[in-house]
Amino acid sequence: MPISYLRRTSANSTLTYKNDIKAGNPAAPTRRVVRSTGLQAPRPGAKPKHQLFGGLARDRRLWLNALMFEIDQLACLRGERLLFRKLGCTLAAGSLLRVAGANGTGKTSLLRLLAGLGEPAAGQIRWQGKPIQTQRETFNAALCYLGHAATLSDLLTPEENLHFACLSAGIAASPQECCQTLQEIGLAAQLDLPCKVLSQGQRRRVALARLTLAATRPLWILDEPFTALDQAAIEELAGRCSAHCAAGGIVIFTSHQDVSFTLPQQTLKVEDFAP
């Protein structure tokens, strides 16, 4: 069920909610689900249904030729240092964009701006022709952003971490769907282990599993998604990104690794816009 956050009614309500869901209790106490999309909440017991970027389309086939992400004359300040200025490009449906540059040039800062997690010093970012600041809910419903850090709780299991991440991002995913996704990416033996005992590659795969459950979100922004992955996992992720673009989605990513995709990729070099 898509939600934006959990409003806790007691200090232990989040833990109670998590344990009740894991146990399959349909009447989990002390919880209240608040939706940010303005859509009507499903009936109790109803199977969750994926919603496509603010109701713009219900069928992934309608993504084709329907998307537009514009970066217009963007500038970014880090403290008093100007990282880049007059940075711009336009991405249509099916675009695969690699943001390249040396360490410290502003790749992560740019991706955070594109995800709406910061304000540019100048310029504008538009989704479907409108500034993202004027349509936060619609834009967030279209976005799947994965940062460089895995951001997992060491004490929770992979399934608990994935389910919590989906709840936080408003992605419709049941605990059963989370378990199935983790099994499909080779983590069946680690489902009940705390994440603190997982390798860096396994932790990265737990974080990336959200992409499977966010397939209906057209805009993916991924910061160093290939870090710590073995060759097989790199090829699998590259194939997933290619398939997402082939379906009409947009993928923006950073990487210091040379990765092969089945679709042509564009490259934006941040150094080209240095002051």
For residue range 141-150, list pLDDT tens digits in order: 999 999 988 7
Rounded distance, CA 84 to CA 78, Å?
10
Predicted local confidence at residue 172, as pLDDT: 86
- How many CB atoms are located within 10 Å of the residue 199 CB? 11
For residue range 238-257, list pLDDT tens digits in order: 999 999 999 999 999 999 88
pTM: 0.76
The model's confidence at residue 33, banded by pLDDT at 50, 70 and 90, is very low
For residue range 107-142, list pLDDT tens digits in order: 999 999 999 999 999 999 999 999 999 999 999 999
118 closest CA partner among 31, 221, 219, 193: 221
> Could you tell me where in the chain the CATH 3.40.50.300 domains are found?
60-151+174-273
Which position has the higher pLDDT, 186 or 15? 186
Average the pLDDT over 15-25 and give the result: 43
Predicted local confidence at residue 12, as pLDDT: 37
CATH superfamily, domain at 60-151+174-273 = P-loop containing nucleotide triphosphate hydrolases (3.40.50.300)
For residue range 189-220, list pLDDT tens digits in order: 999 999 999 999 999 999 999 999 999 999 99
For residue range 146-177, list pLDDT tens digits in order: 998 878 999 999 999 999 999 988 998 899 99
Predicted local confidence at residue 108, as pLDDT: 95
Q: Which two tokens stand for residue 4?
A: 């934006």
Give the per-residue SS3 of the chain.
CCCCEECCCCCCHHHHHHHHHHCCCCCCCCCCEECCCCCCCCCCCCCCCCCCHHHCCCCHHHHCCCCEEEEEEEEEEECCEEEEEEEEEEEECCCEEEEECCCCCCHHHHHHHHCCCCCCCEEEEEECCEEHHHCHHHHHHHEEEECCCCCCCCCCCHHHHHHHHHHHHCCCCCHHHHHHHHHHCCCHHHCCCCHHHCCHHHHHHHHHHHHHHCCCCCEEEEECCCCCCCHHHHHHHHHHHHHHHHCCCEEEEECCCCCCCCCCCEEEEHHHHCC
